[in-house]
Amino acid sequence: MVRGEISAEDSAHLQSVAEAFELPAPVARIEPLGNGNVNATYRVHLVGPEQRSTVLQRLNTSVFRQPRLVMANIEAVAAHVERRLAEGNPDPAARAWRMPALLRRRGSAEPWLERDGQFWRMISFLEATRSVEAIEGPEQAREIGAGLGLFHALIHDLPAEQLADTLEGFHVTPAYLEQYRRVLADSRLERCERCSEAIAFVAEREHRAGVLEEARAAGKLQLRPIHGDPKINNLLLCERSGQAVALIDLDTVKPGLVHYDIGDCLRSACNPAGEETTNFEAVHFDLDLAEAVLQGYLGVARGFLTPADLEAIPDAIALLPFELGLRFLTDHLAGDVYFRTERPGHNLDRALVQFRLAASVERQRAAIEALVERL
């Protein structure tokens, strides 16, 4: 079967699941959507001249072990953002901001379906928007940064304790390092030259893994609501204006440090080669794109950030590619049990991309610190 096609049997099953939700029109067809590494996502096209769509997702309950709490977090964030927008935000970008709506299950107040051991949800499809896999220029980079900044500005005053920590240890780099050490010790995977290179990279830098968590423990940084996975393809842009109008995939919303979001956004935005490349020599951290992203972000979010928050941004930029590379390497050593892969060694290639990016950040550390201070 060609990649991206759905078998007749799977199509009938997906239609049955979709029709369990309160759809505004009958289902016309269903097709895969996006390239996420965790959940299975489909676009459900509806019958009618309006060409409306919804998004059907099957949550990976091996990752999200408490899916009802995931949904409660999403509902809490959506309600808070809607209240903030209704109050009238002075930022012009807020007028265009949109939150995906959860559809209820037929005959129920619950916005999910549990069937045959699987957990499903339906979300409105945000029409006339698009996502990008690689930044197309500085103006777009500023919009990506502004979108994340607006999301943070809208939720920063939602008490973090009102959100469940549905992924304990998620974006806590020392916890990933401990997991990596356990897996490395137990792994019987044959070590190739590239794998040895990646292991050596971690060994040289593992002493830096706690930089953000140590600052939080010292009281310099505080827990706030975060998105958890604000890579650039989770930010939707208006097809007409190019303005950032939504941040999607809210499964990872939880209490955390905004620096993990900032670093993850810059990590995904400032590597023009992309995280799926195998041309490792092309991987680098683009300082011009970083400046544009930070201009957009700080232009919206500076008001709630403390001096200590700003001071820690360079540490976040350096840490996040190391953290993701560590996660990819751990999964490779464990036998590819977490991230979806398309070939043997896929997670190892992904790890090496992130480590090359981290090394590029290290070489430009002084310039990055000067950039943050200037902005």
pLDDT (tens digit, 9 = 90+) per residue, 333-375? 999 988 889 999 999 999 999 999 999 999 999 999 999 999 8
116's CB contacts (< 8 A; 6+ apart) are none
The mean-pLDDT minimum among 28-42, 45-59, 249-263, 356-370 falls in: 28-42
What pLDDT shows up at residue 3? 42
DSSP 226: E
Strands 118-124 and 129-130: unpaired
What pLDDT shows up at residue 339? 87
Average pLDDT in the chain: 92
pTM here?
Answer: 0.91
The mean-pLDDT minimum among 111-115, 188-192, 267-271, 277-281 falls in: 188-192
Q: Is 192 exposed, middle or buried (0-12, 13-18, 19+ CB in 10 A)?
A: exposed
Q: What is the pLDDT confidence band of residue 96, given thresholds at 50, 70 and 90?
A: confident
Max mean pLDDT among 29-33, 129-133, 289-293 falls in 289-293
Q: How many CB atoms lie within 10 A of CB 311?
A: 16
pLDDT of residue 2 exceeding 60, the answer is: no
